[in-house]
Structure 1
């Protein structure tokens, strides 16, 4: 567990160290502030327009989070791809840890980042909705909208491990002798993720059924990561 924790910390810091090695610099804080203020003005303008129109479908705004699952899949794959892009794959695979431990570290790093990002987006969307609802005079609906958003958040937090595991598996396959299968598996995995999300949102599932699906998705995720470990261990192409 100590080894895994150290690898997770290393992964979380790797982006900063890569920028330092490559000599790249981050955008000056002045410009970050300017662009941030500009984005805020644009969002406020959109929110004000929607509030004036008074026909906003608040609960549907949460559908924005649907795309977050696909972002999680792509981001997880990118975390594996960067080892080849940065020409550190050989070094990474030669570390005195099992391939399973290396991939598990990437899995948890992606999960941590995804949960943090999703929380920020949830808060931002809620503030956006709250402002629009205030303009429309629909304060009595705030609680229902907040609950709906919370359901979305729980849903995608529950399904994100599977999405992340699939992303890692797909990109491990891309860097292996099974590369020709990558496009088909990528499309298939996106379809499966889409079906799972749709099932949660539209089907009349009981709490027990939803927990069952979540449990199965975690079990499948374990199998997906183990399969990725086997392929990385036996069939990786450096």
Structure 2
């Protein structure tokens, strides 16, 4: 595979995504309003604040990653650029990987921004509580980074799954898509299948429920499934997509 070609396509994908942000000002407005609201709510309930509570929203990130990759490949059909995209002088595998790699870059930036925001709200809430300590912040940074890494471990699979489901839906494999959407829904909620006692214990103690071993197991599984789905997407795009 031509690495330079792949990097060029990834850069082009990111540029195209940036150029389509017609409603960026509105998104910035809602983001700012949301931040102000969160600051107010955090200050009001500061006495009931538990640091681990800041981390549970990250369970929605794999869903976001799925939709992001799904929409990136859908854009070629929606904008009528499918013929142009497929006529580019690159292999189908390179085209698929460029979408996939671009989506990973975007998700990584979102994760990084979310983690920094989490640290900010931790400092903000503990200052309101009057319990802020540098040692506590360092401990939370360490624990939250493990949490974020564990959730991020699902991203390779979810990104590849989003890409494959859309391509399958535009091909002769379309009858399988209801089943694929069911698998998506179940896989996204898999983490909540852990016993309630397990969650309650960690919520009460404020400890992180995931460790290095869980991360070490999750990564190869997620990456392995992603490789399989990317191969399936490439083969489907070559043979079965209905133009």
Considering only aligned residues, what root-mean-square deviation do their CA atoms show, in Å?
Answer: 2.6
Identify which of 214, 221, 225 aligns with 2:226. 221
Distance 1:105 1:198 in 2: 34
Distance 1:206 1:42 in 2: 32
Distance 1:32 1:226 in 2: 35
Query: Do residues 184 (structure 1) and 179 (structure 2) align?
Result: yes
Query: Do residues 46 (structure 1) and 45 (structure 2) align?
Result: no
Q: Once the 2 structures are TM-superposed, how far is the Cα of residue 65 of structure 1 from its aligned partner? A: 0.5
The 1:69–1:27 alpha-carbon spacing in structure 2 relative to 1, beyond 3 Å, is closer
Query: Do residues 131 (structure 1) and 124 (structure 2) align?
Result: yes
In structure 1, stretches of 5+ residues that fail to align are 20-24
Identify which of 135, 140, 146 aligns with 2:141. 146
What is residue 108 of structure 1 aligned with on the other side? Answer: 101
Contact 1:66 1:197 in 2 (8 A): no
Normalising by the residue count of structure 2, what TM-score does the alignment of the two structures yield?
0.83
Query: Do residues 67 (structure 1) and 72 (structure 2) align?
Result: no
What is residue 170 of structure 1 aligned with on the other side? Answer: 165
The runs of at least 4 aligned residues of structure 1 exceeding 4 Å deviation read 16-19, 25-28, 31-37, 196-199
What is residue 161 of structure 1 aligned with on the other side? Answer: 156
Contact 1:170 1:185 in 2 (8 A): yes
Contact 1:70 1:190 in 2 (8 A): no
What is residue 9 of structure 2 aligned with on the other side? Answer: 7
Distance 2:192 2:216 in 1: 14
The 1:34–1:98 alpha-carbon spacing in structure 2 relative to 1, beyond 3 Å, is closer
The 1:117–1:197 alpha-carbon spacing in structure 2 relative to 1, beyond 3 Å, is farther
Q: Which SS does the other structure have where 1:139 is aligned? A: coil
Contact 1:133 1:142 in 2 (8 A): no
The 1:196–1:94 alpha-carbon spacing in structure 2 relative to 1, beyond 3 Å, is farther
The 1:187–1:101 alpha-carbon spacing in structure 2 relative to 1, beyond 3 Å, is same
Query: Do residues 231 (structure 1) and 226 (structure 2) align?
Result: no
Q: Once the 2 structures are TM-superposed, how far is the Cα of residue 216 of structure 1 from its aligned partner? A: 2.6
In structure 2, stretches of 5+ residues that fail to align are 200-208
Query: Do residues 56 (structure 1) and 58 (structure 2) align?
Result: no
Normalising by the residue count of structure 1, what TM-score does the alignment of the two structures yield?
0.85
Write out per-residue CA displacement over residues 55-103 of structure 1, whole angstroms, 9 at most, x where no aligned residue.
1222122011010011001111111111100000111111111111101
The 1:216–1:34 alpha-carbon spacing in structure 2 relative to 1, beyond 3 Å, is closer
Distance 1:17 1:126 in 2: 30
